[in-house]
């Protein structure tokens, strides 16, 4: 039986169990945020951060038969106030000024805008904010944002690495400053270090950021001079799932138990998968499910189960789709 939005069954949905029988296990309500505008951002046929990524996720959701177990939501546009909680006015103005009426505009050698990029970036950030509202208000237990462009490389005053606005940082700051949460944790399991997220929160005692990433590797940050609220774990190329699980168990989990976050945010990059050519690590779908299971247990213990996850990397289309399904199965408790 599916729970309705808000996490509780509709009146009359749950039959009275016979005396002595175990109550029926409730499937967690998981929101799924996306928008067709996110398909229109296109940096060229050669570019790995392509619209087909979102379609690969959709295809795998349908093939796995869990599509009917998630609640779909259309991502709104983020407003300027939400962006300004992380980014400078000059950065926002620059991105708007670079939005081309036609053709392409280069931000850096790997990051370009087409006429639809700005709208897609606002949808991606808006999805993260809307999912945060819905989870905190109790309409969903947790949520996944299937959006692009990704965000974790976007610094407060600089777009880079395929990223324009830092979706997960915007969502976390929204939880802190709009909803008044006192402590949030950000989990980043992309193969690349989330330099933009670290730049936004370094030294902020309200935020604990836990990440692992291939090192040395783009953007060549995160391994040195960590602030006290950062738990970055640089891993060598060819690291496999057992090394990652050991890092999570020995380094992340003690910090998370000590911190007791009131909500978790996940930068869900799937490019550490062994089939992904943009990295050189060896994770598989079961590793992503295991990591998500650990984070769900932390959230159940300290955060009322509240998790918002946003897509970051993942460029082998088949591996991406399968990994997102594994991640979402864990989020939904199925």
**pLDDT tens for the chain, residues 1 to 334:** 233 333 333 333 333 333 443 444 445 589 999 999 999 999 999 999 999 999 999 999 999 998 888 999 999 999 999 999 999 999 999 999 999 999 999 999 999 999 999 999 999 999 999 999 999 999 999 999 999 999 999 999 999 999 999 999 999 999 999 999 999 999 999 999 999 999 999 999 999 999 999 999 999 999 999 999 999 999 999 999 999 999 999 999 999 999 999 999 999 999 999 999 999 999 999 999 999 999 999 999 999 999 999 999 999 999 999 999 999 999 999 8
User: What is the spatial distance between Cα 298 and Cα 153, in angstroms, rounded to a whole number?
Assistant: 26
C-alpha dihedral, 81 to 82 to 87 to 91, nearest 10° = -60
- Per 3-state DSSP, the chain is made up of helix, strand and coil in percentages (nearest 5) of 35, 15, 45
- Is domain 35-332 annotated with CATH 3.40.800.20? yes
Catalytic residue among 153, 192, 193, 215: 153
| Vertex 28 angle, CA 22 and 31, to 5° | 165
Q: Is 179 annotated in the active site?
A: no
Domain extents in the chain: 35-332
Rounded to whole angstroms, how far apart are CA atoms 131 and 298?
A: 19
The number of beta carbons lying within 10 Å of the beta carbon of residue 246 is: 12
pTM for this predicted structure: 0.92
Torsion of CA 207, 170, 175, 209, to 10 degrees: -20
Note the helical H segments in the chain: 52-63, 80-84, 89-98, 117-136, 167-177, 195-201, 241-247, 253-259, 285-302, 317-332
């Amino acid at each position: 039986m599916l729970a309705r939005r808000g996490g509780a069954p509709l009146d009359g949905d749950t039959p009275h169990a016979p005396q002595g029988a175990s109550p029926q296990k409730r499937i967690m309500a998981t929101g799924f945020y996306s928008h067709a505008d996110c398909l229109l951002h296109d940096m060229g046929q050669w570019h790995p951060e392509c619209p087909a990524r979102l379609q690969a996720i959709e295809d795998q959701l349908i093939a796995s038969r869990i599509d009917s177990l998630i609640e779909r939501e259309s991502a709104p546009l983020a407003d300027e106030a939400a962006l300004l909680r992380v980014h400078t006015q000059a950065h926002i103005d620059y991105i708007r000024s670079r939005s081309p009426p036609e053709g392409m505009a280069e931000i850096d050698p790997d990051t370009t805008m087409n006429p639809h990029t700005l709208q897609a970036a606002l949808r991606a950030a808006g999805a993260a904010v809307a999912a945060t509202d819905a989870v905190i208000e109790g309409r969903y237990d947790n949520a996944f944002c299937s959006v692009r462009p990704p965000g974790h490389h976007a610094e407060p005053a600089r777009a880079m690495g395929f990223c324009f606005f830092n979706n997960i940082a915007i969502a976390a700051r929204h939880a802190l400053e709009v909803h008044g949460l006192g402590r949030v944790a950000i989990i980043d399991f992309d193969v690349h270090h989330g330099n933009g997220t670290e730049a936004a929160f370094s030294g902020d005692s309200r935020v604990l950021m836990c990440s692992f990433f291939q090192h040395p590797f783009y953007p060549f940050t995160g391994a040195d001079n960590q602030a006290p609220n950062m738990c970055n774990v640089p891993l060598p190329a060819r690291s496999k799932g057992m090394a990652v699980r050991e890092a999570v168990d020995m380094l992340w989990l003690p910090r998370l138990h000590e911190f007791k976050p009131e909500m978790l945010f996940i930068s869900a990059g799937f490019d550490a998968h062994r089939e992904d050519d943009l990295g050189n690590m060896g994770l598989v779908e079961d590793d992503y499910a295991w990591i998500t299971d650990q984070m769900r247990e932390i959230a159940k213990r300290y955060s009322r189960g509240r998790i918002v996850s946003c897509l970051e990397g993942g460029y082998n289309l088949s591996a991406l789709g399968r990994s997102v399904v594994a991640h979402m199965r864990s989020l939904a408790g199925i």
